[in-house]
Amino acid sequence: MSVKILKRSKKIKVIIKKEIDMKKFILGTITLFAVFGLALFVVQTVAQANSGGRKIVVFSGALNDAAKDELIARAGGAKLKHLDLIDAKAVWLPDRSAAAKLAASPGVVRVDDDVVVEALLKQGFVKDQGVSILAESLPWGVDRIDAKLVWPLPLGNTADPIKVGIIDTGISNKHPDLLTNVKGGVNTINPRKNWNDDNGHGSHVAGIVAALDNDIGVIGVGPKIDLYAIKVLGASGSGYLSDVIEGIQWAIANNMQVINMSLGTASDIQSFHDAVILAKNAGIVVVAAAGNSGGSVIFPAAYPEAIAVSATDKSDVIASWSSRGPEVDLAAPGVFIYSTYKGTGYATLSGTSMAAPHVAGSAALVLNTPVGGYDVILNGKWDPDEVQKKLQDRAVDLGSTGFDNLYGWGLVNAYSAVQP
């Protein structure tokens, strides 16, 4: 009996020793991975700290151009473009220490990230028709906001059409449903190239605003509106913030009255906000798509100086993916919208990108009417706040009574908005 107990005791000791050895092995392995992981984390952190990239260097106004360039060169940077609107330069910097060095330099206000900005197309809802159609059709969105009822009216300023800048991927330079309404433009990505749309998004937006009434294709909200192609996004539908700011700069310099930005970023960049403020201060009605995340409104729509637009479907219900929040001002059709596309084609697209131009077109129609009782500042003409107020007052209330976070003040109605 005692021999069996002794053998069992030895066996238990062996098992315990094996367990202890295994725990030591596991502990050692965990420690090794922890040390390695910490080292990897440190390496990654250092790499991130030293990562370079595109930045926007904002100056105080105290430096001349040569002095600005010298500061950038001393930091090891390369100048990409001038952004005179906000007294800034877009640059490439080798690392974060260069950005810190510049930010601490006399005459420099701050260094912002030159973030990527994207067209706000809801993926999965694209249908490219690819060819022109012979019979003209009235898109449901243009019909829903009663734009067709405005066209027969004797609006006051038809001899001098309203100028709407489409800040986007460009506009097709050969589309028969757009060609005579597109009066000019710019390519801020590459000024040596023209503003032709190599993506399709900008042409689609432009057609919603002002496709011609010419017995083919589609009709826009205001078929006599003058369009300007401000190409800030490339063939992929994305671009850099500095190109967008330069586009806003061009819009101000060329006397746009409305700009539509069916684009955005989740990043709140002060340089972007400053540009939007300056556009509004120049008398431009700024319209922007709220976003397609189903969550918070993105920028520039989230800025108070912009009219933020959410998207609705044919049942006047907000799209599940449409961004929402207290920043939303108005709603407009944005689901399965048929409009012009790149080349000579047509497409059915969805997104708050499609909703915003319904509002931009309506704003242009309002600008073509007497300001009347909305002339709060008593200067005899519309200013952006007055246009926005009338659009909101004449919108069709949806959702909760009055303002809500889904529809803002309601569904835009072009016909009601142009009434005295």
Domain boundaries, the chain: 53-114, 118-418
Is 345:388 a contact under the CB 8 Å cutoff? no
User: Residue 301's closest CA among 359, 254, 350?
Assistant: 359
Q: Residue 154's pLDDT is what?
A: 81
Query: What pLDDT was estimated at residue 161?
Result: 87
Sheet hosting strand 346-349, strand order edge to edge: 127-128, 346-349, 337-340
pLDDT reported for residue 135: 81
Q: Can you tell me the distance from the alpha carbon of 84 to that of 242, in angstroms, rounded to the nearest whole number?
A: 11
CA separation, residue 149 to residues 108, 226, 330, 356 (Å): 53, 20, 20, 20
Please list the active-site residues: 168, 201, 353
Please answer whether residues 211 and 241 qualify as being in contact, where contact means their C-beta atoms are separated by less than 8 angstroms: no
Q: Which CATH architecture has domain 53-114?
A: 2-Layer Sandwich (3.30)
Q: In angstroms, rounded to a whole number, what is the distance separating the alpha carbons of residues 221 and 367?
A: 14
- Tell me, what DSSP letter sits at residue 368? T
User: Which fold, 118-418?
Assistant: Rossmann fold (3.40.50)
What is the spatial distance between Cα 187 and Cα 95, in angstroms, rounded to a whole number? Answer: 29
Sign of the torsion formed by the C-alpha atoms of 14, 16, 20 and 25: positive
> Of the candidates 267, 266, 286, 291, which has an alpha carbon nearest to the alpha carbon of residue 276?
286
- What's the rounded Cα separation, in Å, for the pair 271 and 240? 12
Pairing mode, strands 53-59 and 88-93: antiparallel
Q: Of the candidates 257, 244, 60, 85, which has an alpha carbon nearest to the alpha carbon of residue 157?
A: 257
Query: Which residues of the chain carry a pLDDT beneath 50?
Result: 1-50, 158
- Can you tell me the distance from the alpha carbon of 79 to that of 192, in angstroms, rounded to the nearest whole number? 18
pTM: 0.86
